[in-house]
Amino acid sequence: MAKTAANRTFPKDREGPSKGAATRALITETALHLFNEESASDVSTNQIAAEAGISPGNLYYYFRNKEEIIRALFPAIRDGIAEPLTYPKGEPISAERMANDYVSAIEVLWRYRFFFADLIGLGQRDPELAAMIQALQDDTIVTMADMYQDIMDQGDMVAVDQKTKELLALNSFLVWFSWVSFMDRASDPRKMREQRLADGALACLAIIDPYLKPAYRTAVHEALEALMNRRQKKKRR
């Protein structure tokens, strides 16, 4: 009797759960690399399998299609965006932390640039992913509005009404999520230099700069410059 997909076994999975997890990670990392190089719509599952050095059948043991691979990448995207923009309630947001977290968020956007460069297309091809993208957008805007409220509460940002705060968060979100697409077209996407990180952070900060108190605004920009200088020196070693 022929084996069905449900009971078929593959060499890569015979060594137990740890090997299976490693194979899944290999597939998703390989797919991420190819998606960033060519865009998700131009990459096939056969290409991913070949690049990963496994058979197409082995890939299909873990993922039924390309959409499942993209969805498997989503939790890291979601958490990578949320973490640097979320602060414990009542904990001051220092200029240094804000600068560092803005750069960290930009790095996440760049690592998964295929995703942010084609949000609409990805959602149109996968309704399940579309719902996840919508939730990510909504949550990010709320998180940014909460962050701005925290900065107002600590006295480092001019107090604004709820509508203005929501618009600032929306505009910041639009700049954040479109910056990667802009940079992808503007220059060689394979070379993410420190200056590009700084430019991305500055573009996002420009939305709220007019609302930051002068001393705090200066401190954030100085902290960003110092951070990028340290990173550049570290890379030269």
| Residue pLDDT, tens place only, 170-199 | 999 999 888 877 776 655 555 556 567 778
Query: In terms of domains, do 75 and 42 share one?
Result: no
| Contact assessment for residue 18 and residue 9, using Cβ atoms and an 8 Å cutoff | no
Q: What is the CATH number of the domain that holds 98?
A: 1.10.357.10
Q: Is residue 4 part of a domain?
A: no
> Is residue 5 predicted with pLDDT exceeding 70?
no
Phi/psi of residue 121, each to 5°? Answer: -60, -45
Question: What span, in angstroms and rounded, lies between the C-alpha atoms of 154 and 170?
Answer: 22
Query: In terms of domains, do 96 and 168 share one?
Result: yes
Q: Which of 56-60, 63-67, 81-85 is predicted with the least confidence, judged by mean pLDDT?
A: 81-85
Query: In terms of domains, do 51 and 143 share one?
Result: no
Query: In terms of domains, do 105 and 84 share one?
Result: yes
Quote the tokens at residue 176.
Answer: 């954040």
Q: What is the CATH number of the domain that holds 34?
A: 1.10.10.60
DSSP letter string, 51-109: HHTS-HHHHHHH-SSHHHHHHHHHHHHHHHHHHHH---TT----HHHHHHHHHHHHHHH
Task: Select the more confidently predicted residue: 11 or 58.
Answer: 58
Helices (H) and strands (E) in the chain, counts: 11, 0
Query: In terms of domains, do 110 and 167 share one?
Result: yes
Q: Which domain holds residue 181?
A: 71-236
Query: In terms of domains, do 148 and 34 share one?
Result: no
> Is residue 212 predicted with pLDDT exceeding 80?
yes
Task: Select the more confidently predicted residue: 178 or 48.
Answer: 48
Question: What span, in angstroms and rounded, lies between the C-alpha atoms of 108 and 83?
Answer: 10
Q: Is residue 1 part of a domain?
A: no
Residue 80's pLDDT band, with cuts at 50, 70 and 90, is: very high
